[in-house]
Structure 1
């Protein structure tokens, strides 16, 4: 039996075939709002229950509560506002959409959802950046992206017309059924946006010793430009699962969301999502969901110690290879000096692959490094 969804109920706002046909038949008579990738993926995740208990884009009470107290108005912990602030440049008729309207949301010109507008309120982007990301600097990728948002937030329930993610992405209902089919009562989720290196593998194996199954759930929807492409992440993890892990105990599936690089706040949000997908445990490593030097690398550890989300956080210190120990270690298990340690960040690995260099074998499996070489042109473009 998998864990209960966050808030107790798994939301389903996906239209039936009959309702979908009815909406599409009358679409020419409906008002529309053009939305970006983040808005489209958020609408989808609300509808399939990944963001349960949300049933739509946040109203002002929820939005203000999340900014100020990391709480929804019902008292549940929530750390990342899920809002819709469409750009006026793509929506010259935006001022004609009022409370009580039910416009169709368009993504790349295609209808994906209906928004039942319950509120409209001003969007203070500077305050959002300061509260959520802890900075107003445009050097932070999400703050820079925020500048392109509109100045008005539209809130209300949504009904999904069409999925926007790939056919290989499973819904929370589907992963829960898969966990039950496998007989897993305890499932640990591993959040990642990168291909696996040896330290990731070490943490995953440590966690897997304590639970029935490991759910590797990479974010593939919308990442910053210098991250590995989604194809590289999925392909490398599939190789790891196929060649090194017991297939009966590890399950891999993508998660198409816009990555929020908000450090500890994002870590909590990502854990809530995995609870909705049926996980009982969540791995929290060093600098999870961080970017640059904006966040305390272990700030999420401190935050999770004071929260009860209904999903158990597995807290791991940074792991690395020690040449004296001749094994993977952490500061808790190794007393040798820094000079004996091999630590290479994912940023360094990306740069090494672009330069045609092979990462050290104690950092990344050679066959995985070889697999990633074909993504060099993508990385070169992102690092410019």
Structure 2
């Protein structure tokens, strides 16, 4: 049975395609493009005229706040700023803190201009949004905060500005007009994840060991954040992505985030999405394949391996390089389900994407202490369709793909012949790769699969060598 839903074209970008004239235009699609605006009357949803000096050519979708925030100090001012920072109280950053500096500095969290002060933190924590002085509401579902311990708080001792020092000991930024307030960890965890069960990866990595105070303020980042891992050329900022969309003359951009290798089911979904947009009258829809590049849990495939695998997918022609942009999204991963997926969607608005693909259980994970999913697998896409501040983004629900044992390829699941389909979970895929067993022909392109097999073989080699190293 096919599903039929209505497509509501938001007037903020209905001008982009001459075939989408009316805000109430309807289409019948087996898998719909939809966005419910039921909550719109409750909020002031704003458009703003962009100042001439900040105009970004891409007109696909306006960034939150009207401009993409850029907090990188101009090159000719960096020397003086660095000398000034040397005289300030120093606040150390963890690796994850540095990733958040990166995120804020490039405008992924626009219009946020620094680590959250208490009023911003409380709005984010309790309302999943921020309200500007002019009454405009933007989505902000995750608190972006910096924690300090008691000793650091005492050292700051009334200072107005502090210098932020990276894990390598170098000063990376200045935090201006600071505010220090209490870090209630239990409240933050409960409201972000909906549970305080032990075993939440981001909590154990970044919150439990963090200090009991939060420090907010305006960021001045002394130079662009670089990781020198051979992947910096993939880390395009929102401004750079918008410029690339313009260069390619994109009239629609659809974003797909993943933290796993790309199999042929993912590719089927992405290629089908482009076809549907072409059928709607768009001339050049461009895919933003946007893997998450910040913190991930230990059993996820590392970023460098995923990027190598993604490159093989393009080399093998599974995705078209001419209509695909592969870029790294620098945010850390929370695994906070419907709360976090709003952040993922909001950040892509700032990068210029006006369509966002959402799948089953986005940003979810298994419950850390029980044998079940932590979140309802359908809640992510439902929340995105109603979330305040995301009204201008069109949501593309994920069509479920599985291995068709008759056609011997990945295909969209057909409930009428359910017995013909094989679902290969991420866990099963990793088991195949670890054991050297090949998945069914057509599950993943051969070049991409070879990358995974080599990665897991290297892990086994390291594990085998570890006891000898310890005993020596």
Smaller-chain TM-score bracket: over 0.9
**Structure having the higher Rg:** 2
Does structure 1 retain, via aligned residues, the 8 Å contact 2:403–2:424? no
Task: Give 1:251's aligned residue.
Answer: 325
Work out the number of aligned pairs and report it.
378
Deviation of 1:313 after TM superposition, in Å, equals: 1.1
Q: How does 1:244-323 map to 2 (within 5 A)?
A: 244=317, 245-292=319-366, 293-307=373-387, 308-323=390-405
Task: Give 2:142's aligned residue.
Answer: 80
Deviation of 1:93 after TM superposition, in Å, equals: 3.7
Output the aligned Cα RMSD. 2.1
Question: Do residues 131 (structure 1) and 191 (structure 2) align?
Answer: yes
1:230 alignment partner, one of 284, 303, 313: 303
Once residues 458 and 340 of structure 2 are traced to their aligned partners in structure 1, the CA distance between those partners, rounded to angstroms, is 26
Which secondary structure state, in structure 1, belongs to the residue aligned with residue 101 of structure 2?
A: helix
Deviation of 1:98 after TM superposition, in Å, equals: 4.6
Task: Give 1:61's aligned residue.
Answer: 119
Which secondary structure state, in structure 2, belongs to the residue aligned with residue 57 of structure 1?
A: coil
Q: Which ranges in structure 2 are unaligned for 5 or more consecutive residues?
A: 1-58, 278-284, 367-372, 467-472
Task: Give 2:219's aligned residue.
Answer: 158
Mean Cα deviation higher: 227-236 or 158-167:
158-167
TM, length-normalised to structure 1: 0.92
Q: How does 1:27-38 map to 2 (within 5 A)?
A: 27-38=85-96
Which secondary structure state, in structure 1, belongs to the residue aligned with residue 447 of structure 2?
A: helix
Task: Give 1:344's aligned residue.
Answer: 424
Question: Do residues 147 (structure 1) and 211 (structure 2) align?
Answer: no
Alpha-carbon spacing, 1:248–1:266, altered in 2? closer, same or farther (3 Å): same
Question: Do residues 370 (structure 1) and 450 (structure 2) align?
Answer: yes
Does structure 2 retain, via aligned residues, the 8 Å contact 1:113–1:159? yes
Deviation of 1:377 after TM superposition, in Å, equals: 5.5
Which secondary structure state, in structure 1, belongs to the residue aligned with residue 165 of structure 2?
A: strand
Mean Cα deviation higher: 302-311 or 39-48:
302-311
Deviation of 1:219 after TM superposition, in Å, equals: 0.9
Alpha-carbon spacing, 1:11–1:100, altered in 2? closer, same or farther (3 Å): farther
Q: Which ranges in structure 1 are unaligned for 5 or more consecutive residues?
A: none
Which secondary structure state, in structure 2, belongs to the residue aligned with residue 335 of structure 1?
A: helix
Deviations 1:6-53, CA, capped at 9 Å, x for gaps: 232211111012321112224432211001122111112211111111
Deviation of 1:101 after TM superposition, in Å, equals: 2.1
Deviation of 1:348 after TM superposition, in Å, equals: 2.0
Does structure 1 retain, via aligned residues, the 8 Å contact 2:180–2:216? yes
2:266 alignment partner, one of 194, 200, 207: 200
